[in-house]
Amino acid sequence: MQGNGVEVSFAIPPRLGAYGLYESGPRRLWVAPVTDPLGILRQTFIHEVVYAVQACPYGHVSLLGVNTVVSPVVAQSIQVLLYTS
């Protein structure tokens, strides 16, 4: 996620036992390599990205500057994750 100030590392998070971690101060996001063989890499990454979005400096949800094309089904799932519960 270069260009938006969030450093992403596919490395062991600095918190013991964590699969993923987002630190809002330094704007760093970690995803543990073990999440890939466990089959939870995608879920862990999305979970931590939601924290990054919630920690936005403007007080409201805003785009992270990631340019991508997703299917309508995936876009709807993202909206549900971000705006409900």
Q: Which pLDDT value is given to residue 1?
A: 44
Distance CA 59, CA 78 (A): 19
Q: By three-state DSSP, how is residue 23 classified?
A: strand
Contact 32, 13 (CB under 8 A): yes
What is the pLDDT confidence band of residue 36, given thresholds at 50, 70 and 90? very high
Q: Could you say which DSSP state residue 39 is in?
A: T
Query: What's the pTM?
Result: 0.62
Q: From residue 30, how far is each of 9, 82, 84 by CA, in Å?
A: 5, 20, 24
pLDDT digits (tens, 9 = 90+) for 48-61: 988 887 766 555 55
**Backbone φ, ψ for residue 80 (5° rounding):** -60, -45
